[in-house]
Chains A and B, each alone.
Chain A
Amino acid sequence: MAISPDVLEKLTTEEDLPELDLSWLNPQDGHKVTATRVRPGRRGLTLDEVEAGREVPEHSINYSLRPRDARGRDNVPRAGMYYPSKSDTWSENSRLLYEEAVQRQWSSATDIPWNTIEPLPDDLERAMCQLCTFLTEVEFIAGDAPGQWLPKINPDYYETKLFLLTQIMDEARHLDVFRKRALANGGGLLSEGQSGPALRSILDAKDFTEMSAIMHVFAEGFVQSLFRTGEYISQNEAEKTIYRLCAQDESRHLGFGVMHLKYVVESQPWRREELHHYLDQVEGPLSLDIQFGTSAATPFFDEAIIILAGGGRKNIDVGVQRLLAVRRRQINEYMHRLDVAGLPERRDRMNVVLKAFLDPPAN
């Protein structure tokens, strides 16, 4: 099959052969098309494989959408103002996490065994629905926040952009799956949560590293511990699957944040105090919640966990103990991540109310 020559002749508006420049076929840098081809490895054709041997610049004055390694043109209008330094937005694991995210996507519609959900006692169903209302609420902030940073990340550091795009997808699925769970078992959504002030601090961030420290390392770290708890207190296979899959996604976000923080600490050591300031800020509002009788979230949230963890309203004592265990795990895991990121002194500087849950150092 082919396009009819008659048709081509009839439809062509200018029959004269156009003048072609074709100078772009012979680039000034003398780059030759070589037979050196990149072949897929065990994980397919990954970004690490195609980028092997290519340099990522430490600084960039690219203010257009020119992809890294593409040749520039004169007179291209600026597309925005981007962060000029690699340190501002880079994380060494972003390619790996991006590929992992693409491979490990899942569907809340068909990958959750929804038919395993059985009617629950009213108190447990209400507690699960309150927890789901809280989670569907917080998850989308984590989708909106990366979105607003995308236009500020330099195309020369596209890996960070790609990673954030997967995070937006992940958070959408989380919003969606918890809404589904709330409406799948004879329940419904319940009360709006009380975590607004804390969530606002994520949107209020004025710097990418500030946002990442607050959202990826602090907030998502706490949510990650919560997902693991959710799996533990799940009443059926559907819920267990939901929490396991969400925890998987959340680990990638945390992984990005921790390694970005590490990159900043190592490449811009003069920012150490600034980073502590961000953590001071975020530990403040969230710990205020604790002082008002809640954990790193809200009283409603705490009470839902207490009921779910205790197995009902009649076992409040067990629920409280498990809530305290969750809280302790959250704080200790948070500190461990800061150790990895190169901020071990946070142990001494941590908000005292959080510090109350901190175990002594391992050694």
Chain B
Amino acid sequence: MAQEPQTQGPDIPEDLVKIAQDNNIPLDLVRRALALGFPAEAVKQQLAMPGVTAEAAEQFISQQEAMRAGGEVVIPDDLAEAAKKHDWPDELVKRGLRLGATAEMLISQMDAGLRPDQAERFITQQERLRGAAQPGAARSAEAGEQALDLSWMKVPTEWGIRVRPGKKGLTVGALNVGTYGDIPDYWPYQTEMPRGAYPIPGVPAMGYTIYEKAELWSDNAADLYEEAIQRRWRPATDIPWESIEPLPDEIERAMCQLCTFFCEKALLAGDTVGKWLPEMSYGYHEVKLYLATAEFDAARHFEVFRKRALCNGGGMGIQSPGYFHRAIIDARAWTETSAVLHILSNSFLMGLYQLGEYVAHSEAESNIFRLCIQDTARQLAFGLGHLKYFLIRKHDRREEVHTYFNKAEAVMVYDDENDNVLREALIILLGGGLIKEQILDGYRKLEYFKRRWVRDYLARLESAGLPERRERLHYSLKKYAEEPVAAQAA
């Protein structure tokens, strides 16, 4: 079909020209529809409907033009009947028709249950948008703008921020400039409003319970977040799985037992942190961001240890006694959770990962443990950072922190005493087998490592500002603690 020249009226977008031509609709009709204020998208949609003819379009547009010219809007009988049945006022129906709704569409919406008050709001909105969308001569730019609210453009937030990427790219920490760097001690908003945005009234509370910075903050959170992303790894492809060779049965089973233990720990960490995330108010997004990466760590740790357990003929081992899990699940304050999960539990988990790397039988295992060591070190860093921040600002709650550690250490020791399976697996792995000398060697090495774990745990607590924990350590752990002088030398 030859293209009609575009003469008077608004320009027709090229794609609309094509649709009109494909449907044998004269372009003049299309131009008249656009001049009436119908958006090009809406015209396109109508033209694409099955059964649309030039005659029907002509009739509809003529009606619309007559209405706009001040002509009386006539409500067809069937529409009037439906409107009466559903309590739609005549004026509302006429406004709908003026907007271009067909009688059939309006009847369908009435029958579907659209209430007149709902329809009124919808029609008002459409009229407003239609006013804004009047093209060209039918609407001045100012009139279009007047149809919009635009109050959001004028809110008194800090403007003119231009943060540039540094050596590590554009980091979250770098965004804390000007007022955006003001992190209040108490966050006053119950909504999901980002820090630095302008609040509006009427937004419902989201149900957070932690609004005080000291209850969740760690100064290193933003850096740990970016670090976690940069140092991410992929169990499926970053581990040289093909390097794993068949192992003696007892070694394979012992390694699988260790993996089963780590899988449980990962499930625990994922569930626990997940539970706390919705409790943390939005003003401290750095903490929520970092914890999201810790959640991702938990997923990868479960994945990698399950894969290790299932890939070499062994399989999952026996579940742990589960008592210590409860000490973490049952925590009723974030500081308690973080102290027990991130510092106590992870100190010993870190020790086990180090041990795993020490006894690794393949490049794959060595890599798995080294990568998990890195992830766990970030969690430790967060936990220590939070405890330090908390202790500095909450002098009166130092004793409370000890209470948390008292309980958790006791339960951990009890759990350990009841987990003969894990202990035996570690002895086998460290000794290298089941003969008497190997068992003795494994047992001694385990005792050796326990000293290191306790030493590292205490050194961490000291760095967080809790050096007296050395004296208050659970008596079963105390026997592994070195004398202070020796520990300092180390």
Residues of A within 8 A of B (CB): 3, 7-9, 11-14, 17-18, 20-22, 24-25, 31, 33-40, 43-47, 50-51, 54, 64-73, 75-77, 79-80, 98-99, 102-103, 105, 107-110, 112, 114-115, 123, 126, 130, 133, 136-138, 140-141, 143-151, 155, 158, 161-162, 164-166, 168-169, 171-173, 175-176, 179-180, 183-192, 194, 196-197, 199-200, 203, 290-294, 299-300, 303-304, 306, 313-314, 316-317, 320-325, 328, 352-353, 355-356, 359-360
Task: Give Cα distance in the complex from A51 to B310, angstroms.
Answer: 8
CB of B237 within 8 A of CB of A77, answer no
Known: A65-B325, A107-B230. Contact between A191 and B152, CB under 8 A? yes
Partner of B196, one of A77, A79, A189: A189
Which one of B129, B249, B277, B292 has the highest number of Cβ atoms from chain A below 10 Å of its Cβ?
B292
Q: Which residues of B contact A147 (CB under 8 A)?
A: 273-278, 295
CB of A33 within 8 A of CB of B252, answer yes
- A337 to chain B minimum Cβ distance, whole angstroms, is 20
Task: Give Cα distance in the complex from A76 to B329, angstroms.
Answer: 14
Q: Which residues of A contact B200 (CB under 8 A)?
A: 191-192, 194
Task: Give Cα distance in the complex from A161 to B274, angstroms.
Answer: 10
Partner of B298, one of A70, A108, A115, A165: A165
Q: Which residues of A contact B225 (CB under 8 A)?
A: 172, 176
Q: Which residues of B contact A73 (CB under 8 A)?
A: 318-322
CB of A17 within 8 A of CB of B439, answer yes
Binary contact track B297-314/A, C-beta < 8 Å → 1, others 0: 011101100110011111
Task: Give Cα distance in the complex from A303 to B270, angstroms.
Answer: 39
Task: Give Cα distance in the complex from A136 to B441, angstroms.
Answer: 55
Task: Give Cα distance in the complex from A328 to B148, angstroms.
Answer: 21
CB of A110 within 8 A of CB of B169, answer yes
Binary contact track B144-184/A, C-beta < 8 Å → 1, others 0: 11011111110101111111110011111001010010000
Partner of B133, one of A188, A300, A317: A317
Task: Give Cα distance in the complex from A22 to B420, angstroms.
Answer: 9
Task: Give Cα distance in the complex from A313 to B147, angstroms.
Answer: 11
Closest-by-CB residue of A relative to B144 is A316
- A109 to chain B minimum Cβ distance, whole angstroms, is 3
Binary contact track B175-197/A, C-beta < 8 Å → 1, others 0: 10100100000000001111011
Is B474 at the interface (CB under 8 A from chain A)?
no
Binary contact track B62-99/A, C-beta < 8 Å → 1, others 0: 00000000000000000000000000000000000000
Task: Give Cα distance in the complex from A194 to B201, angstroms.
Answer: 9
Partner of B170, one of A136, A155, A180, A352: A180
Q: Which residues of A contact B392 (CB under 8 A)?
A: none
A–B complex contacts, Cβ < 8 Å, 6 sampled: A33-B315, A40-B241, A69-B315, A321-B42, A353-B114, A353-B118
Q: Which residues of A contact B315 (CB under 8 A)?
A: 31, 33, 69
Task: Give Cα distance in the complex from A69 to B171, angstroms.
Answer: 42
CB of A13 within 8 A of CB of B479, answer yes
Q: Which residues of B contact A12 (CB under 8 A)?
A: 443-444, 447-448
Partner of A150, one of B163, B177, B196, B275: B275
Which one of A31, A187, A188 has the highest number of Cβ atoms from chain B below 10 Å of its Cβ?
A188
Known: A168-B277, A192-B198. Contact between A8 and B158, CB under 8 A? no
CB of A70 within 8 A of CB of B260, answer yes
Is B139 at the interface (CB under 8 A from chain A)?
yes
Is B267 at the interface (CB under 8 A from chain A)?
yes
Task: Give Cα distance in the complex from A172 to B234, angstroms.
Answer: 19
CB of A112 within 8 A of CB of B302, answer no
Q: Which residues of B contact A105 (CB under 8 A)?
A: 229, 232, 296
Task: Give Cα distance in the complex from A105 to B132, angstroms.
Answer: 41
Q: Which residues of B contact A130 (CB under 8 A)?
A: 152-153
CB-contacts of B229-248 with A (<8 A) = 229-230, 232, 234-237, 239, 241-242, 244, 246
Partner of A20, one of B114, B124, B150, B439: B439
CB of B273 within 8 A of CB of A137, answer no
Is B9 at the interface (CB under 8 A from chain A)?
no
Known: A183-B163, A186-B160, A290-B122. Contact between A110 and B139, CB under 8 A? no
Binary contact track B207-243/A, C-beta < 8 Å → 1, others 0: 1000000000000000001100110101111010110
CB of B234 within 8 A of CB of A44, answer yes
- B153 to chain A minimum Cβ distance, whole angstroms, is 5
CB of B424 within 8 A of CB of A20, answer yes
Q: Which residues of A contact B487 (CB under 8 A)?
A: none
Known: A17-B436, A158-B302. Contact between A292 and B125, CB under 8 A? yes
CB of A109 within 8 A of CB of B165, answer yes
Task: Give Cα distance in the complex from A203 to B421, angstroms.
Answer: 41
Task: Give Cα distance in the complex from A103 to B289, angstroms.
Answer: 20
CB-contacts of B34-86 with A (<8 A) = 39-42, 45, 49-50
Q: Which residues of B contact A359 (CB under 8 A)?
A: 45
CB of A22 within 8 A of CB of B292, answer no
Task: Give Cα distance in the complex from A71 to B261, angstroms.
Answer: 12
